[in-house]
Structure formats: structure tokens, C-alpha cells
Amino acid sequence: MSSTKTSSSKKSKETKETKEPKETKETKETKETKKSKDKKITDITEETNTETMENHSIWYGRLKKNPGDAKFFKEFLTDLSVRFLDEDGFNDILKCYWGKSSEELDDLLKSQNKREKKVKDKFTPENLVKPKNAKNLFSKDFVAECKTKEIKFSLKGLSDAWNALTETQKNKYIKAAAKEKQEYLKQYELSKNEAIKNGSLSADKPKGPTTPFFRYLADNREKIKQQLIDDGETEDLNTKVPTKGGELWKVLPAKIKEPYELAYKTEKDKYSVLLEEWKLKETSRLKKLEGKTEDVKVEESGDKNTASVDEETSEPVVEKAAKSKSKKSASVETPTAEVEKPVKAKAEKAEKATKAKKVEKVVAKKVNLTEDEDEEDDEE
């Protein structure tokens, strides 16, 4: 009996020993295959990450959404290139962080500068509250109703109550809102004209002439749109119409182009006159605002300013008055004062020349008066 027990125990041990290494081999093989698969996946993800980084770069989205950051990035990169980097280093950093050409970055910054200028030049009158829309006017009555009925106010309740109103009930608030807006616009124009008169605000710069192509596009937009639809184009028509119009404009005969070009020329001639007048007004306004020279007289005619410059002399009005007084009292003056006159006159002339130069520099910095920019703004 004992011999049979020992033999059976030995067999069981052998079977256990034989089973165990088989399991370990299988587990090792599965682990190795898993590792290799994981490695392949990580390699693929790294490759895709590098590809996307090359296409979009690290900060592309951030710089695109926040052009202010893009402005700082460009300034910082240019400063680095001047101090430490060569051309290759500049391009490598640009590729890593921006991912596209420097021209595209410049275009982004140019559009941002225009946006900033529009915000800066926008007139915001003081002590003038913006008008409310119909729903806002209704909200006052709804809040009062909630207080009387002791109901908790909520935005959902407000929107539900507004939607529950009939057309006649809504028209009451719509008319009141329109009246309030009309009154606001009237007060806005009055305060704007007042600001232009007293010189604290620049008059509206004349709009540049519309180019021949954009005149042609305005006349033929619907035709081009219909042509694209007939060709099977139904998406992004707002962007496709100008490109198609550009193609048609290139092959257009000179006779058909002629009226558009003549209209542009006549408008440009008028614009150049208006621009010169605006330049004169703006220059005189800035000079007056600086308070350094008073040789510019600004006459008011209606709502707009008309500036007239004293062309005879560039001397301040106060100095002219002082000279006229000195001429009257010349008979009373002593001979020594007459001898000192030429020396004083030379010193005054030198002082005036330096003042005039300073004022010209200030005006040149503050007023950007180029026709090319106006034409670019109009084309956009």
C-alpha cells in the first residue's frame, strides 16, 4: 500500500512540475507580444504627435486665438534673432512654435492691429446709457410681478413668460425699445459732433474709393452665385464667389471693364480732395491739442470743422499781438532797446524753428495719413 501511495505521489509531483513550466512559457510569450505591441503603438503615437506638431506646432492654436500673444511672440523672436540667433535658429523656432511662414504671422498681426485701431478710434460718449432691447424692458415688469405674487425670480421663468406673450403684448415692448434706441442714436450723434467741434475727437476719415473689381463683383454677385450652384457648388459660396469673380474679371474685355475703371477714377479724385481736407483738419486739431502752436485757425461751419492755416507766417498769435504792441510803443522805447531788437529777433526765430520741428514730429507720429492703407481697408 505504501509503495502505491509513493508512486502516485511521485506521479502527481511530476505532472505538477511539467504543467508549471508550460504555463510560465505561455505567460512569457504573451508578455513579450504585449510589450512589442505596446512599443509599436507608442512609436505610432509619437510619429503622429510629431506630424501634428510639425503641421500645427506647439502654440499655433494659442497664437491664432490670441493675436496679442502672437504680437509678443513676434517681437520676442525678432529681438532674440538680433541678439543671439542666426537665420536658421529663427526659422527653427518659428517652425516649432508657429508652424507656418513668417508672412502668415505678419498677416495675422496686421489684421489684429486693424482691430485694435477700430476699438481705439471708436467713440464712447460719457453719461450715455445704451438702449435696452424688448426682452430687457419686459424683464422689469416681470420682476415687479414676481415681487407682488411672491414668486422666486429665475431666468428660465423670464424666458417662459416672454415666450408666452401674444404678438400684441410683445409689440408694446418692441416699440418702446425702438423709441429708446432712436433717442440714444440722436444723443450719440450730438455728443460725437460736439467732441469733433471741441477737438477731442477726430472727424471721420473719408472712405477710400471702391476698386473696379469690387464694383464689378457687386453688380454680378448673384449671377456668379447662380453659376456656381448650376455647376454643383453648394458649400462655402461666400468664399467661392469672389474667387470665381476674380477669374472672370481677368478674362473680361477692356470695353466691359472701362465703366468700372472710370467710376473708380472719378471717386478717387473726389476722395483725394476730401482726404487733403481731412489731413488739414486733423493736423490742426492735433497741434491745438498739443498746445504748442496756435498758428492754425479752425472755423466751424455746421457740424463739421473747416481748418484754415495762416500761410503768411508761422508765428504764434500771442507773439503777433506782442509785436503789434511793441510797434505801437516804439516811439517811447530807448535807443538801447532798439539795438537789442536784432539779437532778440534771432533768438526768437531759432526758438520758433525748434518748436516747429518738434510739433511736426509729434503730428507725424500721431497721424497716419497714407492713401494706400485706405485702399487696403476698403478692399477688405
pLDDT in tens, 153-209: 899 999 999 999 999 999 999 999 999 999 999 999 999 888 888 888 888 889 999
In this structure, are strands 304-309 and 296-301 parallel, antiparallel, or unpaired?
A: antiparallel
C-alpha cell at 305: 470743422
Of residues 185, 204, 184, the one with CA closest to residue 303 = 204
Window from 53-67, 135-149, 178-192, 218-232 with minimum mean pLDDT:
53-67
- List the domain boundaries for the chain: 2-121, 134-198, 212-379
SS3 329: coil
Q: How confident is the model at residue 294 (pLDDT cuts 50, 70, 90)?
A: very low
Q: Could you report the per-residue pLDDT of 65-94, keeping only the tens digit for each? A: 888 888 899 899 888 888 888 888 898 898
Largest CA distance in the chain: 159
Residue bearing the bigger pLDDT, 265 or 63: 265
Residues β-bridged to residue 307? 298
pLDDT at 360 over 90: no
Taking alpha carbons only, the member of 86, 52, 51, 58 closest to residue 73 is 58
Whether residue 93 contacts residue 73, with contact meaning beta carbons closer than 8 Å, is answered with: no
Q: CB within 8 A of 208, min separation 6: which ones?
A: 271, 371, 374, 375, 377, 378
Confidence of residue 37 (pLDDT cuts 50, 70, 90): low
